[in-house]
């Protein structure tokens, strides 16, 4: 019988094999890639947050905004006079007050503030003016505001009062003031005419959308006699219609004096208007109608449809409605 041989144990090396050193640059690359990955994730999260957050919607403090604008445009507020005391370039003092204000709030949009002011001459002055203002977001994504305004319009002895201002929507994004201006006070002494001036913000300016008649009144007394005097005046005017170039100074002065003194006739006319319903982003037409009496007889009833020119941003007012 053969002997069973035990397996011999393996011969182990007396020294361990050399260990390969890892490259230090490899670790740096891995660290850099990891850092870039984290930054990319943060940028994506920030962009997503910003996109979902949307622009800052500005809420306007009416009192603070109006006070700041009025002080900047017209000077200091006078508690005693209850208005802002403004001195113009001719050193003429005026008392300026706010006669209309409205804050427009819309869902998902910043506030817009609209207000109108009236300046009345102090002391011996018989002049007055008005101004219109819009305050809105500056559109830069923050809470900054910008003012669009026309602070000085109109020179008349008759101040604009609150009841002479209408503020109404013309379209989905156009609000306008309709301000009645008056040139005299006593129809027994002068022809008193009132006109409608329609204004609205347009870009960075205040645009005049329309200027059309509102009323005319004159009461010289007996209408038949007034008509006869006017007819006589017309006959005299025809004598000066075609003055020769070598006309005497006396004839020229007489013609000018006659032209400046046209006799008044009886007149009591009213033009009323309505705006179209708001149905789109463009203003609709105005409907204007007339009634009353002129030169002693009733005026012929008539209605005009005044269309809006979106390119020029004005209403095409017909000649019959343009103020004299």
Could you tell me which residue, 142 or 289, shows the higher pLDDT?
A: 289
Q: What is the pTM of this model?
A: 0.79
Residue 321 φ/ψ, nearest 5 degrees: -105, -5
Yes or no: say if 323 and 310 are a contact pair by the CB < 8 Å rule. no
Average pLDDT, the chain: 87
Instruction: Compute the distance between CA of residue 283 and CA of residue 110 in angstroms, rounded to an integer.
Output: 22
Instruction: Compute the distance between CA of residue 274 and CA of residue 284 in angstroms, rounded to an integer.
Output: 10
Instruction: Indicate the pLDDT class of residue 85, thresholds 50, 70 and 90.
Output: very high
pLDDT at 36: 67
pLDDT at 38: 58
For the chain, how big is the Rg over CA atoms in Å? 39
| Fold of domain 54-157 | Nuclear Transport Factor 2; Chain: A, (3.10.450)
Residues of the chain with CATH 3.10.450: 54-157
Q: What is the pLDDT of residues 86-115, one digit of tens each?
A: 999 889 999 999 999 999 988 778 899 999
**223 has a pLDDT exceeding 80:** yes
Angle of CA points 61, 277, 112, to nearest 5°:
15
pLDDT at 108: 78
Yes or no: say if 70 and 94 are a contact pair by the CB < 8 Å rule. no
Instruction: Indicate the pLDDT class of residue 51, thresholds 50, 70 and 90.
Output: very low
HSE-CB of 255 using CA atoms within 13 angstroms: 14
**31 has a pLDDT exceeding 70:** no
pLDDT at 105: 87
**35 has a pLDDT exceeding 90:** no
HSE-CB of 145 using CA atoms within 13 angstroms: 21
């Amino acid at each position: 019988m053969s002997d069973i041989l035990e397996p011999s144990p393996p011969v182990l090396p007396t020294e361990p094999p050399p260990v390969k050193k890892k490259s230090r640059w490899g670790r740096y690359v891995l660290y850099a890639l990891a850092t870039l990955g984290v930054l990319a994730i943060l940028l994506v999260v920030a962009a997503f947050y910003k996109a979902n957050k949307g622009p800052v919607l500005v809420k306007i403090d009416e009192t603070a905004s109006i006070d700041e604008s009025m002080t900047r445009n017209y000077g200091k507020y006078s508690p005693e006079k209850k208005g802002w005391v403004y001195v113009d370039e001719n050193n003429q003092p005026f008392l300026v007050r706010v006669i209309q204000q409205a804050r427009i709030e819309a869902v998902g949009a910043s506030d817009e503030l609209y207000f109108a002011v009236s300046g009345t001459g102090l002391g011996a002055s018989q002049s007055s003016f008005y101004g219109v203002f819009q305050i809105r977001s500056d559109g830069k994504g923050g809470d900054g505001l910008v003012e669009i305004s026309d602070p000085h319009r109109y020179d008349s002895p008759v101040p604009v009062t609150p009841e002479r201002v209408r503020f109404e929507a013309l379209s989905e994004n156009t609000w306008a003031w309709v301000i009645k201006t008056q040139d005299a006070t006593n129809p027994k002494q002068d022809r008193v005419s009132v006109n409608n001036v329609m204004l609205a913000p347009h870009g960075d300016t205040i645009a005049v959308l329309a200027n059309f008649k509102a009323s005319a009144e004159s009461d010289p007394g007996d209408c038949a006699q007034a008509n006869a005097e006017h007819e006589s005046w017309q006959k005299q005017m025809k004598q000066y219609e075609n003055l020769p170039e070598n006309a005497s100074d006396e004839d020229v002065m007489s013609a000018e004096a006659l032209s400046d003194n046209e006799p008044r006739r009886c007149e009591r006319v009213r033009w009323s208007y309505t705006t179209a319903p708001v149905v789109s982003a463009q203003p609709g037409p105005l409907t204007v109608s007339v009634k009353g009496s002129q030169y002693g007889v009733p005026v012929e009833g008539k209605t005009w449809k005044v269309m809006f020119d979106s390119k020029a941003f004005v209403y095409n007012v017909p000649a019959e409605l343009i103020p004299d």
